[in-house]
Structures are given as C-alpha cells and as structure tokens.
Amino acid sequence: MRKRILYIEPFFGVSGDMFAGALLSLLEDKKIVFDALESLSIHSHFSVSLNSVVKHGINAAKFSVELTSDAGNEHGRTLLEIIDVINSGKKISTEARELAIRIFKRLAEAEAKVHGLGIEKVHFHEVGAIDSIVDIVTASIAFCLIKPDVVISRPVALGNGKIDSAHGILPVPAPATAELLKNIPVDFTNIEGELTTPTGAAIIAEIVSQWNSVVSGKMILCGYGAGTKDLPDGPNVLRLSLLEQDADSFLNDNVAVIETNIDDMPGEFLSHIVPELFEKGCFDYAIIPASMKKNRQGFILQVICVPEKLDDISEYILKNTSTMGIRYRIEQRKVLSRKSMKVDTSYGEVRVKLAYDKNSVFLKFKPELEDVSKIAKKYSLGFQQIYSAIVVEISDKLKIRKSFPY
C-alpha cells in the first residue's frame, strides 16, 4: 500500500494561474485537460496556452487564458451562473466539477462576508471573469487526475501595500483573501503587491488537509507554476511536489498532546466540556485521577489532536475550565490502517471498524459500541450477550476465522 502526497510550497504566493500551471506540469498527458475545457459552454470565448518561462533562474509552466473578441464583458456573474458554466463541461469528471463548485462556493462565502450580503446576491468581479473560471476548472481537472491521498502545504506567503480592484484601492491581502485564509498559517512578507489572490486562496483552502507538517517520502515529481509578476528578490512561482510513502510510513503521523492539571473544578462540569472537544476535532481524550499540590484530589485532562487544531482546542480548554495554563507537545504515533463499513446482522445494521497491518493484512475488527448498545436496549438483552452474538455474526459474514475483535 502506497500513499501519494501533494506537497505545496507557496513561498512567493499563490494564484489561480500558478496553481493551474504547477498542476499541469505534474501531468504527462495534458491533452485530457485541454479537451475537457473545450466542453464548457463558454469555450468559444477563450483559448488557453501552457508555455515555459524562467523566473529568477527557475523554469516554470505559465498557464494563460486569452479571451476571444466575442467574449464581451463577463464580469458580474452570480454563483449560480458560474455553477451552470462548470456543470456544462460534459467531458469534465463529476469529481472535478464538484471540486470547482466547492472552490467557487468558498469564494462566494468570503465575498458575502466582506460585503455584508447574502451568498445568492454576490456578483463576482475579478474572480467571476472567464479567466478565473478557467483557472479554477483547469486546476480542479488536473488535481483529480493526479489523485493525491493527502495534500500538505507550507504557510501561504502574503505581500503588502495596496492594490486596485473593482471596489477601489484595497489593502494587501485583499479582504476576500484574508477571509479565505482564516485559521490557515500565513507568512507576511515585505514584498510590495498581491502575492496571493482570492482565487489562489480559495483553491489552497479547499484542497489542503494538513498545514506546515513534517513531510517525508520518495520524490516522484516536482513542478513549478509561474505567476505574472517579476519580483526583485525571488521567483513568482508556486512549487508542487508529488511524493510517495511506503506502507510503513503510511502508518506514522504527528499529533499534538495537550495536558492540564485541574484540582478546583467539579468533575460533573466535564459532561459539558468533553463533547465539545470532539466537535472541535480532537481524536481522543483522557481524564486521569491524580493527587495535586497540598494533597488535593484532582485530575489531568489530556487531549490528542492534529497539530493544526492545537491553538483552537487549547483556547477552548483555557476558556471553559478553571485551569490557568496548559502544556503541549508534538509526538509521533504509529497507527494501524483502518476502514469502516456497515454490516447487516439479524439484529439490525451495525457499523464496524476493521484494522490492517502495513502489508494490508487484516488483524482485527470492532463493532461500534453505540450501535450494540442501542440494539441491547431495543431487545432488552444484556450488553455482553448481544455483543458476543453480533461479533459471531460479523465474523461469519466477513469470513473471519482466526482473528477476534479487540
């Protein structure tokens, strides 16, 4: 089993054309993408090209969209109109069309928030133009052809100063870009001008699953997408790398472990706190009884989450418990590969977790205890009795003989 990782390095910003160019540079057969673009209802209003350019000594792919003379003024499209254009592409896969629509919905939500409008009343300006539609659709098609299992990105670089827009002179980053990059790591630079556009911010916000994580694996491909700027201190390019991890690496990742000691809060308050922790994205938690200073009885609250959730969950704990501080650390963990499925039993449908080793060899399974508990109550049977019966049925249905659930 191998895992494909798309690693993004927006060290000089990101825009729609930079994304499209970089993703296309990773594809061997680019004609698939260009043929799919021709199935759009607006295909007669534009043409596309992919050329090699050199930015500060780096050879990069420059994706360009040229409007035809009959394109007219295509500004002011609504989200529904853009969705209709995307769905008109019959040669574009359903997966790619859905990705492009999700990206535009992010843009619409950001614009609506900035301008104080309902999402249905947003009329796109720069991002609604034909070239931006083509940039996003191209990036979506190429991304779905590459099919990475995980997308990891470094922080997004931002410029400074001011830019001219359809709404007048605006600060950098543009308000919509800032809205799109909320809760995303960024690097503020001293470079004048807009390094990251709303289109680029929407794409990266939609596809990235991990931020600023340690990445390891075998480098398969590396590509650069060029922007339109000529920067004095570096290349206006976006670098994308495609890596593969072997089965053993597939089972390793990093987690944040958050802990705090509490000895001055009633234990029943935890019934309010703990459910929220899961809603905020923690993997697991533990409440550990302990003897505190002055021999007071208390507990240690320990929470495990992805590193990206560290600040959000820490803030929640500080706000909703009596503690005055937390401690945290980043740890490596090794986990079994898992998948979930639903199994029909004579008692009803039961969700089941199955675990495999690094060679995809089945090891064990576990019925969801919530499902077993509901069945036990429904039939007025003891939990252990119904659990054992369900395990036997699942073993028979999955043809499991030598392994028993944990």
What pLDDT shows up at residue 196?
94
What pLDDT shows up at residue 137?
97
Residue 405's pLDDT band, with cuts at 50, 70 and 90, is very low
Q: What percent of the chain has pLDDT over 90?
A: 53
Residue 47, class by beta-carbon neighbours within 10 Å (0-12 exposed, 13-18 middle, 19+ buried)?
middle
Q: What is the mean pLDDT of residues 181-196?
A: 90
What pLDDT shows up at residue 128?
58
What pLDDT shows up at residue 308?
81
| Range list of β-strands (E), 56-194 | 58-67, 150-153, 156-160, 162-165, 168-171, 186-192
Q: Do 159 and 172 contact (CB within 8 A), yes or no? A: yes
Strands 237-245 and 186-192: unpaired
Least confident range from 111-115, 203-207, 359-363: namely 359-363
Helix locations, 262-364, DSSP H: 270-279, 310-320
What pLDDT shows up at residue 251?
57
What pLDDT shows up at residue 72?
54
Q: Does 12 score more than 90 pLDDT?
A: yes
Q: Does 73 score more than 60 pLDDT?
A: no
Residue 294's pLDDT band, with cuts at 50, 70 and 90, is confident
What pLDDT shows up at residue 247?
53
Query: Could you give the 3-state DSSP secondary structure of residue 325?
Result: coil
User: Which among 368, 370, 374, 357 is positioned nearest to 391, based on CA atoms?
Assistant: 368
Q: Does 152 score more than 60 pLDDT?
A: yes
Q: Does 317 score more than 90 pLDDT?
A: yes
What pLDDT shows up at residue 406?
45
Q: Does 197 score more than 90 pLDDT?
A: yes
Query: Could you give the 3-state DSSP secondary structure of residue 29?
Result: coil
Condensed to tens digits (0 to 9), the pLDDT of residues 160-180 reads: 887 776 666 778 888 889 999
Q: What is the mean pLDDT of residues 269-274?
A: 82
Residue 193's pLDDT band, with cuts at 50, 70 and 90, is confident
Give the whole-angstrom CA distance, residue 22 versus residue 239: 7
Domains along the sequence of the chain with CATH: 3-249 (no CATH), 252-334 (3.30.70.1380), 337-397 (3.10.20.300)
Condensed to tens digits (0 to 9), the pLDDT of residues 209-251 reads: 888 766 778 899 999 999 988 888 889 999 999 999 875 545 5
What pLDDT shows up at residue 402?
46
What pLDDT shows up at residue 404?
47
Across-strand partners of 171?
Answer: 162
